[in-house]
Amino acid sequence: MRFGARLAAAVAEHGPLCAGIDPHTPLLAAWGLPDTAEGVERFGRTCVEALAGSVSCLKPQAAFFERHGSRGLQALERVVADARDADVLTIVDAKRGDIGSTMAAYADAFAGDSPLAGDAVTVSPYLGFGSLRPVLDVAAAHGRGVFVLALTSNPEGAGVQHARLGGTSVAGAVAAAAAAENAGVSPLGDVGLVVGATVGSAVDDLGIDLGAVNGPLLAPGVGAQGATAEDLRRVFGDARRLVLASSSREILAAGPDPRSLREAARRSAAAVREALGA
């Protein structure tokens, strides 16, 4: 089954919340875990055990695993495998972007048959949307999804993403290209966008039609990063039905107790449902 269809079913059952798995140093310390490959593995696998069945998907951040070298990558593989066994979707937050054979290799690693490949991967289009063709094709062949960076919440991003070429913003061109990939697909396309929940009026200011994307809109920034229900309504407007809100620190701070993690996720999920009218 295509990723978009699987995600739509998961959201219908569990709500539009994606829980991040970000084993950074302060959180590991708060959980009483060492900042080692073994520590990040224990962290990630505890998250899967606790949160499967409470959220629509999980989003392990690859960098926090990769910094521990080959053993960290092995830990990420085990987290992805645990999630698959628990029947919960994963978005591997790798943000890869390159050209030609290098992009093809990234596609094999994160969207093909590799043990690093989850159900979807995040990618960067800022070498041109066309540079993503290898990962789009490999993901489609394997029933996986792709989330393309469009509007990020970091202030520096606006210098590139808000720039206009021939009257269309770079972010708008990315959104239009994703929409073309999803044309005619139902109930939800496999190519989504990453749009920060804290980007304010940027979507309206740039004239971007997010509803036309017909794919999931991954919205980081919910919870500890400060995005409110009003922010979600302001940023996404009538495209709220496509939003997959992402929360990390607000949920992870409740660990390491699995029951506390589940309760935090359920509170976040309820708040997101109310904010989005889902």
Q: How far is CA 3 from CA 25, 53, 115, 142, in A?
A: 32, 18, 17, 9
Among candidate residues 2, 67, 84, 95, the one labeled active-site is 95
Side-chain-side CA neighbours of 110 within 13 Å: the count stands at 29
Cis peptide before 216 (omega within 30 of 0): no
59 is catalytic: no
* 112 alpha-carbon distance from chain centroid: 18
Pick from 233, 224, 149: nearest CA to 191: 149
Pick from 195, 201, 199, 240: nearest CA to 220: 195
Angle at which helix 37-51 crosses helix 258-276, to 10 degrees, equals 60
Please give the structure tokens belonging to residue 157.
């991003």
In whole angstroms, what is the distance from residue 241 CA to residue 239 CA? 5
Under DSSP, is residue 80 helix (H, G, I), strand (E, B) or coil? helix
**How many Cβ atoms are within 10 Å of 37's Cβ, its own excluded?**
19
Under DSSP, is residue 208 helix (H, G, I), strand (E, B) or coil? coil
The answer to whether 259 and 266 have CB atoms below 8 angstroms apart is no
Burial grade of 85 (CB within 10 A; 0-12, 13-18, 19 or more): exposed
Matching residue, tokens 């920034």: 221
Residues annotated catalytic, as ranges: 95
